[in-house]
Amino acid sequence: MTDPRKSAIVLVDMARDFVEEGGFIANAGGPEYRKAAAEIVPVLARLLDAARAAGVTVVYSTDEHTPEDVELKKWPPHSMKGTKWAEILPELAPQDGDLVLPKRTYSGFQDPAFEDALKARGIETLYITGLHTDCCCRHTSGDAFQKGYGLVWITDALQAFTPEAHESGLEYYRTYYATDTEAQLLTSDRVIDQWAAARATEAAE
């Protein structure tokens, strides 16, 4: 069983821009996307409560762009630093002890401070959640895989612009990163149960 105290749940791009009407990404996705993105928020809230109770580190890896960012050569400005749109959704607000590590491109690993913070906590396994399954979560996963981190994808705590894009992202994880799909692509309920069991075992020792 994965040691919760050597694990982190990573919330990718759970900023207002990606979910709330009026944000560039949220508006680009349209009403159906906004509905789907909003539906993972209560799932994530449950996961965060369970993670903190089990000693799992909570990591926020969220776009906080500046006009100079390379990514903005590809995409219009979004989730810009200093605006409300770069704020983490209030329903998922960070708490004391969480790591808030803003990113300026698809993967937080592109900033060395991201991995430095993980190493300082002794993190060995990452639970990947957030937006989008086939883009920033995929790039984060790729970097983590190539750096030797254990990976778990929480399938109902991930979403993309379309159901097809979400499924293609999950299939990419299965094909290129997972070594044991049964253990690495899990629902939130299974992850919460695993963390609770690990916590109970620790308490009994």
Domains for the chain: give ranges and CATH numbers.
4-204 (3.40.50.850)
190-203 per-position pLDDT tens digit: 999 999 999 888 77
37-73 per-position pLDDT tens digit: 999 999 999 999 999 999 999 999 999 999 999 999 9
pLDDT at 1: 67
| Helix, strand, or coil (residue 185) | strand
- pLDDT of 77 > 70? The answer is yes
- pLDDT of 87 > 80? The answer is yes
Instruction: Give the angle subtended at the CA of 91 by the CAs of 71 and 134, to the nearest 5°.
Output: 35
* Lookup: tokens for 148: 């030797």
- pLDDT (mean) for 92-113: 98
% residues pLDDT > 70 (the chain): 100
Cβ count within 10 A of residue 150: 17
Using alpha carbons, list the distances in angstroms from residue 20 to 10, 33, 54, 84: 20, 10, 30, 11
- pLDDT (mean) for 157-174: 98
121-137 per-position pLDDT tens digit: 999 999 999 999 999 99
- pLDDT of 85 > 90? The answer is yes
Q: Which distant-in-sequence residues (6+ apart) come within 8 Å of 127 by Cβ? A: 7, 8, 9, 10, 47, 51, 56, 152, 153, 154, 191
